[in-house]
């Protein structure tokens, strides 16, 4: 599943860049594209990204998943550390699922009425206006959206997978939790959010996908995205489908095409490295005098703002908070290092994805459920955003540590209160040596 999500993001952006070279209209740049060699440069980017991914997986003795890969736990681990017994697991999973669902409902109500998403749902407020209306509550909103809600869904999914049971009540509780995660995400008004924030759970529920399942997932996700766009955009299904395809391809690639075009014309970019101050967070950076949201210099110290400014031709009065663009790590690398230096960003993107995968696999194999859920959510909260932008703040930002730590503690508490932790302690544990030497389960 991880391979599929990564491939979709890399492939669709590449298709968008190719379309720009063939003369498509770029929605972010405001004019049609032309041939400039961006597609070939992006092909090298994709090759180096996957080289970094595959080599890192090989170094850590993790073979990428694919059709025919073994399902379930490896034989040695299955014998040494079986999943939770039926008598123990039924009560604990149900309690965990109910606790998680209760907390998820509280999050849903907070987003709807506390943050005002009900106005988006009722089409009384624009989606962009809603997402920049939180003020001092912004960090709380970010915590709920990108960390707490999807990680809770992944936690329930992890315990569900370990139980290896398919009774109706278990399925219903799992579906309830995932449904609430999707509903919470939908309220934010992003085209893909109802699907995107389910990825952490799907990484655990569907670790290996053959081509038939992959196509089914893509088709199901596309239908849900089209329905979301049709409702929120108040457009017909056909127009929504066309909009989705344009956004997934040209919308993902036109900014990167523009950045390469600027580079090819020997125009200078603003310096990339001052944007690393954003890793401290806007409030801390502002307190230290390193950043000031709303001032012109903020564009030089926040990568999404800088990239938007560059792509929009340094437009005066630009509000990057409501009109930011997706440059991919290819575009970020070109701004930072030019060519061929951008390939270092490409390579690093693959390494980050591989390390995320390795961490997820190891935590799951060792029954570290809270850490497993956190690693699964890191993929959507940090890894994919970095691949989609090239912004180091998405993986090194202090808020990643703070929000991730808070969410981890919440998961630990739910595990303890539900009794799952005690039952795990009654299992035969696998030694680190056995976990390293056993055949790997292709979780991702």
pLDDT of the residue at 375: 93
Instruction: Kindly report, residue by residue over 259-275, the tens digit of the pLDDT.
Output: 999 999 999 999 998 88
Burial class (CB in 10 A: 0-12, 13-18, 19+), 236: exposed
pLDDT of the residue at 72: 37
Q: What is the dihedral of CA 68, 198, 417, 419, to 10 degrees?
A: -20
The arithmetic mean of pLDDT across residues 184-208, rounded, is 86
The arithmetic mean of pLDDT across residues 50-73, rounded, is 65
pLDDT of the residue at 118: 84
The more confidently predicted of residues 85 and 109 is 109
Smallest CA-to-CA distance from 158 within 402, 321, 365 is with 365
Measured CA to CA, the distance from residue 103 to residue 309 in angstroms comes to: 39
> 288 pLDDT band (50/70/90 cuts)?
low
The more confidently predicted of residues 380 and 208 is 380
Highest mean pLDDT among 273-277, 324-328, 374-378, 420-424: 374-378
SS (H, E, C) 39-108: HHHHHHHHHHHHHHHHHHHHHCCCCCCCCCCCCCCCHHHHHHCCCCCHHHHHHHHHHHHHHHHHHHHHHH
31: phi then psi, degrees, rounded to nearest 5: -155, 170
Smallest CA-to-CA distance from 320 within 297, 287, 345, 336 is with 297
Measured CA to CA, the distance from residue 319 to residue 185 in angstroms comes to: 24
Instruction: Kindly report, residue by residue over 165-189, the tens digit of the pLDDT.
Output: 667 888 898 899 999 999 888 888 7
The arithmetic mean of pLDDT across residues 312-331, rounded, is 76
Residue 406, both tokens: 């808070």
Q: Is the pLDDT of residue 314 over 60?
A: yes
Show Cβ contacts of residue 257 under 8 Å, excluding neighbours closer than 6 positions: 16, 17, 20, 21, 26, 29, 33, 36, 38
Measured distance between the N- and C-terminal CA atoms of the chain, rounded to whole angstroms: 5
Measured CA to CA, the distance from residue 155 to residue 10 in angstroms comes to: 27
CA angle, residues 64, 364, 66, in degrees to nearest 5: 20
Instruction: Kindly report, residue by residue over 334-368, the tens digit of the pLDDT.
Output: 999 998 999 999 999 999 999 999 999 889 888 88
pLDDT of the residue at 416: 87
The arithmetic mean of pLDDT across residues 289-298, rounded, is 56
The more confidently predicted of residues 118 and 38 is 38
List, in sequence order, every residue forming a beta bridge with 32; answer none if it has no partner: 25
The more confidently predicted of residues 345 and 293 is 345
Average pLDDT of the chain to the nearest whole number: 81
E strand or H helix at 247: helix 237-248
Beta carbons of 211 and 10 less than 8 angstroms apart: no
Other C-beta atoms closer than 10 Å to the C-beta of 106 total 12
Percent of the chain with pLDDT over 70: 79
Which DSSP category does 367 fall into? T
Beta carbons of 188 and 145 less than 8 angstroms apart: yes
The more confidently predicted of residues 435 and 417 is 417
The more confidently predicted of residues 90 and 63 is 90
Instruction: Kindly report, residue by residue over 203-252, the tens digit of the pLDDT.
Output: 998 888 777 888 888 888 888 888 887 877 767 787 878 877 888 889 88
Beta carbons of 189 and 131 less than 8 angstroms apart: yes
Q: Using N-to-C axis directions, what is the helix angle for 38-59 and 250-264, rounded to 10°? A: 110
Domain ranges of the chain: 1-444
Average the pLDDT over each of 92-96, 161-165, 172-176, 311-315 and give the range with the smallest value.
161-165
Average the pLDDT over each of 35-39, 50-54, 275-279, 407-411 and give the range with the smallest value.
275-279
């Amino acid at each position: 599943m991880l391979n599929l999500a990564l491939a979709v993001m890399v492939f669709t952006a590449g298709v968008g860049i190719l379309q720009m070279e063939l003369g498509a209209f770029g929605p972010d740049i405001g004019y049609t594209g032309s041939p400039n060699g961006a597609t070939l440069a992006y092909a090298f980017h994709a090759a180096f990204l996957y080289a970094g991914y595959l080599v890192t997986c090989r170094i850590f003795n993790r073979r990428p998943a694919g059709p025919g890969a073994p399902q379930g736990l490896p034989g040695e681990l299955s014998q040494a550390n079986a999943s939770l017994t039926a008598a123990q697991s039924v009560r604990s999973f149900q309690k965990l699922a109910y606790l998680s669902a209760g907390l998820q409902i509280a999050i849903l109500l907070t987003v709807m009425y506390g943050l005002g998403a009900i106005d988006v749902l009722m089409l009384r407020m624009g989606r962009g206006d809603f997402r920049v209306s939180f003020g001092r509550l912004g960090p709380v909103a970010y915590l709920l959206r990108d960390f707490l809600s999807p990680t809770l869904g992944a936690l329930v999914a992890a315990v569900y997978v370990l139980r290896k049971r398919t009774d109706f009540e278990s399925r219903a509780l799992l579906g309830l939790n995932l449904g609430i995660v999707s509903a919470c995400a939908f309220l934010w008004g992003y085209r893909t959010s109802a699907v995107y924030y389910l990825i952490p759970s799907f990484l655990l529920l569907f670790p290996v996908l053959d081509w038939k399942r992959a196509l089914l997932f893509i088709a199901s996700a596309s239908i849900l995205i089209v329905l979301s766009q049709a409702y929120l955009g108040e457009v017909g299904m056909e127009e929504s489908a066309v909009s989705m395809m344009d956004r997934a391809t040209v919308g993902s690639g036109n900014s990167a095409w523009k950045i390469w075009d600027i580079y090819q014309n020997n125009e200078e970019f603003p310096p990339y490295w001052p944007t690393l101050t954003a890793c401290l967070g806007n409030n801390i950076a502002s307190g230290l005098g390193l950043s000031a949201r709303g001032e012109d210099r903020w564009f030089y110290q926040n990568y999404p703002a800088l990239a938007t400014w560059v792509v929009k031709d340094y437009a005066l009065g630009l509000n990057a908070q409501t009109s930011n663009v997706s440059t991919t790590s290819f575009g970020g690398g070109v701004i930072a290092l030019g060519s061929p230096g951008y390939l270092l960003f490409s390579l690093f993107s693959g390494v980050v994805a591989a390390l995320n995968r390795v961490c997820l696999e190891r935590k799951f194999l060792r029954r570290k459920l809270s850490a497993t859920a956190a690693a699964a959510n890191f993929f959507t909260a940090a890894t994919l955003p970095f691949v989609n932008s090239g912004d180091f703040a998405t993986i090194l930002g202090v808020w990643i540590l703070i929000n991730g730590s808070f969410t981890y503690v919440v998961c630990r508490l739910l595990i303890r209160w539900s009794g799952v932790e005690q039952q795990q302690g009654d299992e035969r544990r696998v030694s680190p040596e056995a976990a390293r030497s056993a055949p790997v389960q292709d979780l991702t």
